[in-house]
Each structure stands twice: as C-alpha cells, then as structure tokens.
Amino acid sequence: MRNKAWFACVLVLALVNAHAADTHPFNVHDLVMLKRVSDPHLSPDASMVAFSVRSTDYAANKGLHAIDTLDLDRAGATPVKLVDQASSPRWSRDGSQIYFLSPRSGSRQVWKVPAHGGTPVQVTHYPLDVGTFKLSPDGMHMAVTMDVFTDCGTLACTRQRLDARKADKARGRLYKKLFVRHWDTWSDGRRSQLFVASLNALGVAVGAPVRVSRGIDGDIPSKPFGDAGEYVFSPQGQSLYFDVRIAGRTEPWSTNFDIYVAPITGLVKPRNLTAANKAWDGWPVPSPDGRWMYYLAQKVPGFESDRFRIMKMNLATGKTEELDQDWDRSPGNLSISSDGKILYATADDEGQHPLFAIHTDSGSVDTLVSEGSVGGYDPALAVNRIVLVRDSLTQPGDLYTVRVNGGDLKQVTDINRAALARVSMGQPRWFTFDGWHKQRVQGYVVTPADFDSGKTYPVAFIVHGGPQGAMSNSWSYRWNPQTYAGQGFAVVTINFHGSTGYGQDFTDSISGDWGGKPLDDLKAGWKYALNHYGFLDGDRACALGASYGGYMVYWMAGVWNTPWKCMVDHDGVFDMRMMYYATDELWFEEHENGGPQYRVPANYEKFNPIDHVADWRLPMLVVHSAKDFRIPLTQGLGAFTALQRRGIPSEFLTFPNENHFVLTPHDSVQWHDTVNAWLKRWTPKAPETDDKTNPVKTNFK
C-alpha cells in the first residue's frame, strides 16, 4: 500500500509538472487569438440566448464574426454556431428566426436564419450599407440606419452620387464647415439617417424604406461610436424615439443631443422632447405601458464626462424628474424590465463596472453583479433570468446568468477554455492611499505571470487615458496588464483624480488641472506601491501611457523623470496649443481648458509639455498612427523631433491605417513586440557579483 501511495504521488507530480511545461506566460499572440463574446439576446421565452463571437484569422489579418446560440435550459449545453459572417443577432417576435447583419451579399444588409439552423435569407436589398437595425414590437416593421445625402429623396440618389464621385478623376473635396474629419474618417457629406421598412408575412422588407428623420441634420446613431441603443420603437410600434445632435456649424464644439419622437409613417416632422436642456440627452427607454420615457441626461453643456442622470418623463405632460439624484455614479447601457418597475444599467464603480437595478418608483439602486466588468446584458423577468457578458483582469468575456434581483451568478460559457489552459497570468492586488490633499485614491498592482515572492521585478507604470476613464477590473484587447505581466514585468497603475467611478466631484477635479492633481496622485501612488510591494524593483521601471496617458508621459518627461529608466508614449498630446486647432471634437478641449485657445491662451500653457522639452532626458519610444484624428499625427512627430534634436535615445513607430487605437491583429502584435523590446532594453537586471568588489561578467548591454 505504501508503494502504491508513493507511486500515485509521483504520478500526480509528474502530471502537474507536465502541465506546467505545457503552459507559458500570457503574451500578445494569445491576446489577439482569443475569441470575443458580445451582444447577448434572449429568445422570447428566455430559454435560449443568441450572441456574437469574434475570432481571428491571423493569416488574413482580420476578425471573423459569427453568431452562436446556447440552450440555457439544458444542463451541460454548449454554444452552437448558428451562422458565420454575421453580427447583431435579434430574435423575431415568435422566436422562430434570428435577424442579423452580414456583408455576405457584397454589401452590409439585414438577413435572417431559422433559430435552430438553416439557410440564411436576405431581408433587405438596399443599394447602401445598413449600419444598424431594430425590429418593431409587433414584428411588422424594422428600423434601419443608413448613411445618405440628406438632400437626396431616394437611396438610389445617394448611390448614384457616390458612384459619380468614384469615377471622377479630380480628387479634391471642398468643405464649408467642420467636421472635416472625425475620429478616423474624412467626411463625405453624408449623414446616418433613420428609416422604417415594412416587413411582409415572411419577415422580408418590401418596398422603399421611409425616412422618419427627414429634416434632421444629424447622425442617428451618433458617430463614431453610436449604436442601435440610441433609438427605440414605442411599445405599440407606431413611433420611434431617437437621440441626435443638431448643431450645424457648431457641431464640433457642442454636446447638445436631444431626444425626438416621430411616427413611423414619416409624414410628420420629428418633435424635440428635451429642447429645454442644452446638454446631452440620449438613449431613450419607454415604459412598457407607454406612459413614461426614461433616458440619460447631463447638465453641463460641452462636457462629455458630466454625470449622466436617469431622467423620467411623463409623455402626456412632458414633465421630467431626476430619478437617481442620490446616486453619485454615471450610468449607461439602460434598459427596462417587462413590468416597467426596474431599470437596469451599468456604471464604473470603485474600479469595477457592475450591473445595477434602479427602481422606477423610488430611484433606489441595487447592485446585481458587483465584481468585474459587465458588458452587454438582457433581462427576462418572467423566468427570473438575466444573461450578461462579464470579464475581469484575469478573464476575457464570457456569458453568465444571474437572477433578476441579483444572486446565483453562474458562468454558462467558457469560450476560451482551451486557449487559457495553456497560459499563466499575473494576479491583481488593489490598494488605496492618500493622494492629492490626502484624498483617497485607488490603484492596483499586477504581479508578473511567473511570480516568485522571493524575487524582484521590473515595473511597467501605466497611466490611463481619458482622462475621465479608469483602469478597472476588466479585460482589454489593447492596454492589457497581462501582456506586460507575461513579459516578466509587474504592473502598477493609479486611478488618479479625474478617473471615473469615484463620484462626479472626483471626475470633475481634473478639468483645468491636467498636470496638477493627477501628477500628485501618480507620485503618491508610486511611493505607496514601492513601500508595500517588495517585489517591485524601483530602479527598473518605465512609464507608459496613451491619449491623456500619453500627454502625462510627455509632461512627466519634463517635470518628474527621476524614477524612470524609459518612457513609452502612444498618441499623446505634445503641444496643447496646436492640439486645440487640429483635433476633431473641440468641445473636449474647450471644457478642459476653460474655453478656446485664442480666448484663454494662458490655460493652454499652464501644463503644456512642449514648454519643458529642455528638461527631457529619458529614452522614449513614441507611437502615433496616421489615421488618429483625435490627437493628430503631428503631435507624435513633434515629440520625436524634440527627442532626436536633443540627442535623446528615441524611436518612432507609426501605423498608416490605424486610428487612436491599434486594432488589426498583426499591427497589435508589432505594437506589443516593439513596446516590450523597448522596456526590456532599458530595464536590464544589474550584473551579479561574486563578492562586493568583483562583478560577474554578463552579456547584457
């Protein structure tokens, strides 16, 4: 018996060691090949969920999109691929069909397929790409959005004009107002407009769609990141509510979105329901009985990071009230229960992004899912079930279910199980400390993937962007701490003043003070981390950041460069003055700096990195892409010029087809490989010594 027990022990150890030998620290190649789950929607009886899955064709350098289904009522069920070349799944009213968007016909159109599999059928045959769509409650109509020239009376008119432009050998384009370009796209004069199509008995669109947004000089949904959540049918299906910004020449410096209502016939001009508020009103959600409309609203014009309040409008009288006035969070992704008693929303909260329930009678708020980051979700009151996508710092997104009043959180998919079984990851450790003026600030450390508590490790000190954002307990396909942990680095990041999820006063505090309070927090957080985590090697640390984080890296290069061995700057602001005149969305610059640059030039100089180039001394890698119109390419080129002219070791990486983000698989791998090589170059381990005076020879340079 003793020999058998000994043999069993040896066998177990051998299996453990074999498994360990098969694993490797998480890296960018793992990252780009992971499947991505999103957009879950329950069937009408809530027994099944349809959802989008993105995989990667690395050879073709692109993502592949498919729709899977999962039987939630069958124990042990696994996802089944329903259709490929597909996204945006939506159930038919009777649950027999799933509608979706697909480019399979050569343009992006709406299709449908039997819910249990079969041959897809094309639903729309328009001469233009369909951007988004939504089915009416009675299943007789479908709302679609398409980019059109607003002076065209037909879709064919827009198509003909586009074809004529393409055939014209002259390539010049004359503009009379901003936006000339937005995010990563030059304007061609079209607007995304809202149409309604009639569906026949087979669920296929018939006749020409009716434009219900006629006379609206704005984009529905908004650009560049708007979606179908910005419009909705009334419960009876006879009207559409939608939000839009109509600002004409002032659009680039306005955040004045309003909510409109229009009949699906298109015969009556859309009516503005929120004209009194000159700030942002959006994402309408009517109550099931049609009496109320809930929506999100800000109070400060021109400030995109003001707290969104949940508003409640009496549709008969137009009277409004703030439902959640005692809740100091900024919700999004709003929806309503089938009985109208509960609103659901997500929001940043103390480093998490939970799912909340807000009672429509009292405005009281309950947390349904507290840990991690909740993305898309769909509630079904009748069966006491919410399906949702959830991720964290150590887990990419998967589907979960939870009861409608919280509790019994269950993971129901494990999409990346095989891929994740082969990797090791770092572990997050959250901390709080006294930041600016002794106010509480939160941050976290991520250990290296192959962590040994007896060793010390170089550090990647990451400064988040926004600046009204946060490094939260969530999974990212861009700035993911695990990619640095997998390279043997510990990660430290701070949610400095200006971050979201800690109350609106905390978020507001960065405006007009970009280089002040946040820098104090970063200094205090770095000191705290070094004092409390002995595995951090403070002599081998580099600072990295993108967007506002890139601004802060340039700022730190001149005013706080002593702790660091190197820096990495991605799409950062180098010159605050020129940034104002070159960026696309002026409302952001004007709010953050208290007005246009020509009116308050001193505000743009107060924390301007370009004024401190004489104090730069650290090696820096600058990354800036050609299609970044938010922080244009010349900002990065200017910084690289400064580094080269100063004789500071520096390199410049640019991508001709990427925007503010680096998204394509091969570019992402190159980005990470270049950044990691730069970090390793400047943070080598000090040579070992055989005694106090004779260093042991090593190969590092």
What is the Cα–Cα distance from 463 to 560, expressed in whole angstroms? Answer: 14
Tens-place pLDDT, residues 286-296: 999 999 999 99
Would you say 648 and 678 are in contact if contact means Cβ atoms under 8 Å apart? no
Q: How many Cβ atoms are within 10 Å of 583's Cβ, its own excluded?
A: 18
Percent of the chain with pLDDT over 90: 94
pLDDT of 359 strictly over 80: yes
Mean local confidence (pLDDT), 112-116: 98
Token reading at 648: 């500071």
First vs last C-alpha separation in the chain = 57
Mean local confidence (pLDDT), 382-395: 97
pLDDT on residue 691: 44
Tens-place pLDDT, residues 21-35: 589 999 999 999 999
pLDDT of 10 strictly over 50: no
Instruction: Name 152's Cβ contacts closer than 8 Å, sequence gap at least 6.
Output: 158, 161
Helices 548-559 and 517-532: crossing angle, nearest 10°?
A: 80
Instruction: Name 405's Cβ contacts closer than 8 Å, sequence gap at least 6.
Output: 357, 366, 368, 384
What is the Cα–Cα distance from 547 to 467, expressed in whole angstroms? Answer: 8
What is the Cα–Cα distance from 496 to 443, expressed in whole angstroms? Answer: 8
Tens-place pLDDT, residues 262-284: 999 999 999 999 999 999 999 99
113 alpha-carbon distance from chain centroid: 29
- The closest of 83, 127, 77, 116 to 102, measured between CA atoms, is 83
- The closest of 310, 318, 309, 212 to 266, measured between CA atoms, is 212
Mean local confidence (pLDDT), 314-341: 97
pLDDT on residue 688: 60
Question: Superfamily for 423-682?
Answer: Alpha/Beta hydrolase fold, catalytic domain (3.40.50.1820)
- The closest of 602, 458, 441 to 506, measured between CA atoms, is 441
3-state secondary structure 55-89: EEECCCCEEEEEEEEEECCCCCCCCEEEEECCEEE
pLDDT band at 2 (very low <50, low <70, confident <90, very high): very low
Token reading at 625: 């892409």
pLDDT of 678 strictly over 70: yes
pLDDT of 20 strictly over 70: no
What is the Cα–Cα distance from 107 to 666, expressed in whole angstroms? Answer: 25
pLDDT of 9 strictly over 50: no
Give the residue extent of every domain in the chain. 423-682
pLDDT band at 7 (very low <50, low <70, confident <90, very high): very low
What is the Cα–Cα distance from 443 to 494, expressed in whole angstroms? Answer: 4
CA distances from 397 to 36, 227, 476 (A): 7, 20, 10
pLDDT band at 687 (very low <50, low <70, confident <90, very high): confident
Tens-place pLDDT, residues 505-520: 999 999 999 999 999 9
The kind and range of the H/E element at 44 are none
Helix (H, G, I), strand (E, B) or coil at 695: strand
Strand runs labelled E in 76-152: 80-84, 87-91, 97-102, 109-114, 121-122, 132-135, 141-148
The per-residue pLDDT of the chain, averaged, comes to 95
Tens-place pLDDT, residues 81-109: 999 999 999 999 999 999 999 999 999 99
657 alpha-carbon distance from chain centroid: 20
Tens-place pLDDT, residues 124-172: 999 999 999 999 999 999 999 999 999 999 999 999 999 999 999 999 9
Tens-place pLDDT, residues 416-469: 999 999 999 999 999 999 999 999 999 999 999 999 999 999 999 999 999 999
- The closest of 343, 263, 265 to 311, measured between CA atoms, is 343
For the chain, helix, strand, coil in percent to 5 are: 20, 35, 45
pLDDT on residue 686: 80
Q: Among 6-20, 110-124, 389-403, which is the least confidently predicted range?
A: 6-20
Tens-place pLDDT, residues 212-228: 999 999 999 999 999 99
Which single residue is written with the structure tokens 């409650």? 137
- Residue length, the chain? 701
What is the Cα–Cα distance from 544 to 576, expressed in whole angstroms? Answer: 19
Mean local confidence (pLDDT), 366-371: 97
Mean local confidence (pLDDT), 369-391: 97
